[in-house]
Amino acid sequence: MIAPAFKTKRARLGRWLDLANLVTAGAALLVASMLLILFQFMSLRSALVEDVAIQARIIGDNSAAALMFADSRAATETLSALEGAPAILAASLFPADGKALATYRRANAASVAAPSEALQAAGHIFSFNRLELVRAVRIDGRDLGFVVLRASLERLYARLIGYAGLTLAIAMGSLIVAYLLVARMRRAVKKAEAHLEYLAHIDPVTGLPNRHAFNERLAFALGRADHAGGSVGLLLIDLDNFKIVNDTLGHHCGDRLLKVVAQRLLGCLRAGDVISRIGGDEFAVILEAAGSADGERPARKVLSVLGAPFEVDGHEIYVTASVGISLYPDDALDLDTLTRNADTAMYQAKGKGKNGYEKFHPELDRRIQKRLSLESKLRKALERAELSLHYQPQFRISDGHLVGLEALLRWDHPELGAVSPVEFIPVAEDCGLIVPIGRWVLRTACAELAAWRDAGFGVIHVSVNLSARQTRDPHLMHDILQALRDYKISPTQLELEITESVLMDNVHANVELLHRLQTEGIRLSIDDFGTGYSSMAYLKRFPIDQVKIDRTFVRDIPGDRDDEAITTAIIAMAHSLGLSVVAEGVETEQQLEFLRAAGCDIMQGFYFAEPGTAEQIAAFLGSRIGGVKNAVLPA
Amino acid sequence: MNLFARRFRRLVTGIALLLPLGLTAQPVHEHDLKAAFVYNFALFTDWPADTIYEGGTLNICINPASALRPALNALRDKPIRGRRIALREPAPGTVRACHVLFLEATDRRAWPQMREALAGATVLTVADDQEPGLEGSIIMLGFEGNRIVFSIDTRAAGAASLILSSKLLRLAAEVR
């Protein structure tokens, strides 16, 4: 939306233009009318001269004989015929010697005098309201005298005034009609423009300004802050679980929710604050009032008004939001940076567990920069073969037998050195690189399994982690089967590990995927069990073969009563559902003993074996064949 | 315009000769007036196209003893329709060659013979005064108070195959 100051300026300019147009058109019409009237005057005048000249000629012809015989009576009679010509005021017939032979006068008009030399020379002379005209009377080629007529211009003027009135009235009328038409057209155009502007600047769902309008407003606010001093706060509000509402209740319901959220946000902000909807479930607030410029108070207010449940189509919906705050000019010196910083802060708030707000600080920015550089390096990592797989053996507790290997992704960057998966996996997940990387992991694991098989190390099982993004990849199933087929690996040798949160991300789609995987004979394991939802229901619903106890529980046992209880409970429950249990992160003998006592099936951890490269694992497998069974497994 | 102006000036200077008529008639001699009348009658008369003009002149026949003769003689250089005027003596043998025949009291005796000779001839006969014995002429001059008037006999004009201008007829005191 255009700032009001621009608008009034534009409107005033528009009115001036209208007026100028009108005046110009009026002046042009007036000039045209004047010229028409002048032309009409000239033609009326020359018509009058013609008329009077004809009359003079008729009179002259008819009175030639009378003039010749000096018959005043006959001449007067001839002149008296002029009564029929109302424009003629007076007329006289002069013989050559100059004394009037006959005179005619209308009413009390003055009689005409003998023609002056000038009049004789010109033939006719106009005065303000008279025309005097002289014509010679001739017979047999000889001049006998002349007839002089005086005509009144009154009738000419009367006709001219009538004509002028009509012309001006028509000009005026056409001006008015044109003005009305133009005004009407202009109104229509203005309305269309206003509508277009509305469409261009307003989000139809919530009636709030859209991203486009938001950018204009923000630029305007920043400009004002530059000139008048002061600061501008920017809040970015992202609804945390809006996607679930959309997925489960439908888009219509989602739109309704957005509308009531927008209303509530509008209600809690001050008059000077501008709120816009800048994305699907993202809102932005521009805080111009100096008092609220630190942004924390409005952010708290936003979170608290969203706290109460929303009533939409009979559903009671709870909405939380993550808010990022960025300040101008403290955090950023331009619009793009300001928005990006607010975005960064908002993601930080989300990362901290959502339903909170975060102020931007430079540390966040550095983290983002690092993440971006990591992303660009990661893109090249696959091509440059900087990635490799390490494997950590898993052993059966009851007899110490190797049951399988967990494939662990490693990244060795030439400059950064070994980069932790905790660092780069979320980056890969965010930018989508996880899909090609995941495919590479699967194929590499299969290739190495095939190599070990061919080396005579027997049938080895391997477990590979699946990320959330991968489960949404429509080619996942195809990629897995292709890898297995290419390296002639049996599906039963492959185990896929999925975290609870990945499973819950899209329950419906995942149930189907897992069923298909199980149908192919691939084993499925829940990773990090106990950290997320830990829903008993889905254990029953998903076709799962194994549960992996998270290392955070293992770390504090024995000793921590709670962790002991949880671990025991998970093992008991998994067993009663017919699932095997893996404990990871086992590092001490005490932990091993506790888990053995609790009935845990499989162990994995430094206590037994560190993750090793493919070569190290090959050596380990070879040594096992060689007779030194369970060399790394004490007890 | 210039031409027009020049024409007017010429008109003003030459007019005294062309139009010797004054309504008051007092300063002008009666003979001059009558001569001008005769001249003007000729001006307003149309002779048939086949009229013969011997020597190219328009012949006005008038008794050599007439008092009008000097006045008419003065108008000789005023051509009528491009023809010069010639004064002739009327005689029964040559009267058919006249175009205008002016008759006055002295011609009364010769008139019946001339009238016979004129039968069917295209001659404009003008009789002075309403003298008895000059019956049958086309135009007759007369007096009304001190004003010279004239009457026209259209039957006689028709018999002579002459056409008198309607302008002239309008000025006549009597038209028969």
Q: Each residue of A282-341: pLDDT tens digit?
A: 999 998 865 545 778 888 888 998 888 888 888 888 888 999 999 888 888 889 989 988
Q: Which of B8, B10, B148 to mutate to test binding with chain A, by most A CBs within 10 Å of its CB?
A: B8
Would the pLDDT of A573 be above 90?
Answer: no
Would the pLDDT of A5 be above 70?
Answer: no
Q: What is the pLDDT of residue A289?
A: 66
Give the tens place of pLDDT for each residue, A109-161.
Answer: 777 887 787 788 888 888 888 888 888 888 877 788 888 989 888 888 999 99
Measured between beta carbons, which residues in chain A are less than 8 angstroms from residue B10?
143
Would the pLDDT of A31 be above 90?
Answer: yes
Q: What is the pLDDT of residue A15?
A: 78
CB atoms within 10 A of CB A433: 19
Largest CA distance in chain B: 56
Tokens of A37: 């009237």
Instruction: Tell me the pLDDT band of A103, cut-offs 50, 70 and 90.
Output: confident
Q: What is the pLDDT of residue A458?
A: 82
Would the pLDDT of A556 be above 90?
Answer: no
Percent of chain A with pLDDT over 90: 19
Q: Which of A572, A633, A630, A568 is nearest to A594 (CA)?
A: A568
Give the tens place of pLDDT for each residue, A497-515.
Answer: 988 777 777 777 788 888 9
Instruction: Tell me the pLDDT band of B9, cut-offs 50, 70 and 90.
Output: very low
Please name the residue of chain A whose CA is at the shortest distance from the CA of residue B35: A69
Do B167 and A95 count as a contact with CB atoms less than 8 A apart?
Answer: no
d(CA B104, CA B34): 12
- Of A390-399, B2-11, B86-95, give the lowest mean pLDDT range: B2-11
Within an 8 Å CB–CB cutoff, is residue A66 touching chain B?
Answer: yes
Mean pLDDT of A442-461: 89
Q: What is the pLDDT of residue A17?
A: 82
Q: Which of A68, A97, A146 sits opposite B40 (nearest CB)?
A: A68
Measured between beta carbons, which residues in chain A are less than 8 angstroms from residue B14?
96
d(CA A238, CA A278): 10
Max avg pLDDT among A263-267, A365-369, B29-33, B82-86: A263-267
**Average of per-residue pLDDT values in chain A:** 85
Mean pLDDT of A41-52: 91
Per DSSP (E only), the strands in A414-514 are: 417-419, 462-466, 494-499
Tokens of A260: 């009531």
Tokens of A276: 């816009």
Mean pLDDT of A17-34: 88
Q: Which of A49, A58, A69, A119 to mutate to test binding with chain B, by most B CBs within 10 Å of its CB?
A: A69
Please name the residue of chain B whose CA is at the shortest distance from the CA of residue A143: B11
Would the pLDDT of A585 be above 50?
Answer: yes
Question: For the residues of chain B, what is the DSSP string, one character each?
Answer: -HHHHHHHHHHHHHHHHH----SS-SSS-HHHHHHHHHHHHHHTEE--TT---GGGPEEEE--TT-TTHHHHHHTTTS-BTTB-EEEE---TTTGGG-SEEEE-GGGTTTHHHHHHHTTT---EEEESTT-TT-TT-SEEEEEETTEEEEEE-HHHHHHTT-EE-HHHHHH-SEE-
Percent of chain A with pLDDT over 70: 95
Q: What is the pLDDT of residue A290?
A: 54
Mean pLDDT of B55-71: 86
Measured between beta carbons, which residues in chain A are less than 8 angstroms from residue B17?
none
| Residues in CB range of B36: below 8 A, 6 or more apart | B19, B20, B21, B71, B75
Tokens of A66: 């009378």
The vertex-A49 CA angle with A47 and A55, nearest 5°, equals 105
Give the tens place of pLDDT for each residue, A255-298.
Answer: 999 999 999 998 888 888 889 999 888 999 998 865 545 778 88
Instruction: Tell me the pLDDT band of A625, cut-offs 50, 70 and 90.
Output: low
Largest CA distance in chain A: 172
Would the pLDDT of B59 be above 50?
Answer: yes
Nearest Cα of chain A lies from the Cα of B164 at a distance, in angstroms, of: 12
Give the tens place of pLDDT for each residue, A364-385.
Answer: 778 777 888 888 888 888 888 8
- Residue A498 has phi, psi (to 5 degrees) of -130, 135
Q: What is the pLDDT of residue A7?
A: 60
Would the pLDDT of B99 be above 80?
Answer: yes
Tokens of A202: 């307003």
Q: What is the pLDDT of residue A1?
A: 42
- Of A80-89, A452-461, A521-530, B131-140, give the lowest mean pLDDT range: B131-140
Mean pLDDT of A202-222: 90
Instruction: Tell me the pLDDT band of A391, cut-offs 50, 70 and 90.
Output: very high
Do A66 and B165 count as a contact with CB atoms less than 8 A apart?
Answer: no
Do A96 and B11 count as a contact with CB atoms less than 8 A apart?
Answer: yes
Q: What is the pLDDT of residue A512?
A: 85
Would the pLDDT of A254 be above 50?
Answer: yes
Would the pLDDT of A409 be above 60?
Answer: yes
Q: Which of A541, A547, A533 is nearest to A510 (CA)?
A: A541
Would the pLDDT of B15 be above 70?
Answer: no
Please name the residue of chain A whose CA is at the shortest distance from the CA of residue B150: A69
Nearest Cα of chain B lies from the Cα of A55 at a distance, in angstroms, of: 17
The vertex-B149 CA angle with B95 and B89, nearest 5°, equals 20
**Average of per-residue pLDDT values in chain B:** 77
Within an 8 Å CB–CB cutoff, is residue A404 touching chain B?
Answer: no
Would the pLDDT of A344 be above 60?
Answer: yes
Residues in chain B: 176
Q: Which of A65, A97, A146 sits opposite B165 (nearest CB)?
A: A65
Residue B102's DSSP bridge partners are B126
Q: Which of A65, A121, A136 sits opposite B168 (nearest CB)?
A: A65
Give the tens place of pLDDT for each residue, B152-169.
Answer: 888 888 888 888 888 888
Would the pLDDT of A166 be above 90?
Answer: yes
Instruction: Tell me the pLDDT band of B8, cut-offs 50, 70 and 90.
Output: very low
Cβ atoms of A262 and A283 closer than 8 Å: yes
Tokens of A554: 């293992």
